[in-house]
Amino acid sequence: KQEVTQIPAALSVPEGENLVLNCSFTDSAIYNLQWFRQDPGKGLTSLLLIQSSQREQTSGRLNASLDKSSGRSTLYIAASQPGDSATYLCAASRRDDKIIFGKGTRLHILP
Amino acid sequence: DGGITQSPKYLFRKEGQNVTLSCEQNLNHDAMYWYRQDPGQGLRLIYYSQIVNDFQKGDIAEGYSVSREKKESFPLTVTSAQKNPTAFYLCASSVLTSGANVLTFGAGSRLTVL
């Protein structure tokens, strides 16, 4: 059974710092891994998706990597801003199967 | 604009009542999902459907029911059998292709039992 874990559950960093959010999964036979952002009381917004054949994806200040052999993905945020404050969730999926989410990391960027 | 519409955004229910949450998508996506979100619990899968007229139970299906009569619609009924229904409910859809399985979410519906 696929389990997805995100550590830490919460993180506070000063504005301008670079930071890394971690996501680990137990079943390396994933099809793709997706990172989402959720603001309080809102739905989820997709940030990046990494297919199993890829090692990383980049969008602006965000970079996500995938290491299937170690069961890990990381989301790197460069030059953090107060607007980056949100909960970040990762989700692992197998082809034609249900998608499993981690519990998320609540990020707070201190002005 | 393509997207997923969930309604209502807020819903209050008395104990013992059934309630139906609406989810409509105009993305032409094959698969649709319902998740429940509680504080500190993350997202838990209730039901999912990969094609019309077919759906599968997720991890916490007890006390819930769904239908998939049209590709665009995947309503969720919270029945009186669900003992703790107060939560934030999220609907999602995805395209099943050989390339990837990309989820798109609606804005959510918050259900409160009085």
Q: Is the confidence at residue A37, as pLDDT, over 70? A: yes
Among A3, A45, A95, A98, the strongest candidate for a mutation testing the B interface, having the largest count of B CBs within 10 A, is: A98
User: Regarding beta strands B103-105 and A44-51, do their DSSP bridges make them parallel or antiparallel, or are they unpaired?
Assistant: unpaired
Residue A102: list chain B partners with CB under 8 A: 42
Q: What is the largest distance, in Å, between two alpha-carbon atoms of chain A?
A: 43
pLDDT in tens, A92-110: 987 656 788 999 999 999 9
Enter the tokens of residue B82: 């669900």
Cα distance between residue B19 and residue B13, in whole Å: 7
Q: Which two tokens stand for residue B98?
A: 């050989």
Task: Report chain A residues whose CB lies below 8 A from the CB of B104.
Answer: 46
Place of tokens 């959510």: B108
* For residues A59-70, average pLDDT: 95
CA distance, residue A9 to nearest chain B CA (Å): 9
Q: Hey, what are B95's tokens?
A: 């395209």
Q: Note whether B86 and B113 are within 8 A (CB).
A: yes
What's the pLDDT band for A65 if we cut at 50, 70, 90? very high
Task: Report phi then psi at A83, rounded to 5.
Answer: -70, -10
Secondary structure (3-state) at A107 = strand
Cβ(B46)–Cβ(B64) under 8 Å?
Answer: yes
Report the gap between the CA of B29 and the closest CA in chain A (Å).
Answer: 14
Nearest CA of chain A to the CA of B107: how many Å?
4
Q: What is the pLDDT of residues B8-49, one digit of tens each?
A: 999 998 988 999 999 999 999 989 999 999 987 789 999 999
> How much of chain A, in percent, has pLDDT values that exceed 70?
97
Rounded to an integer, what distance in angstroms lies between the CA atom of residue A71 and that of residue A73? 7
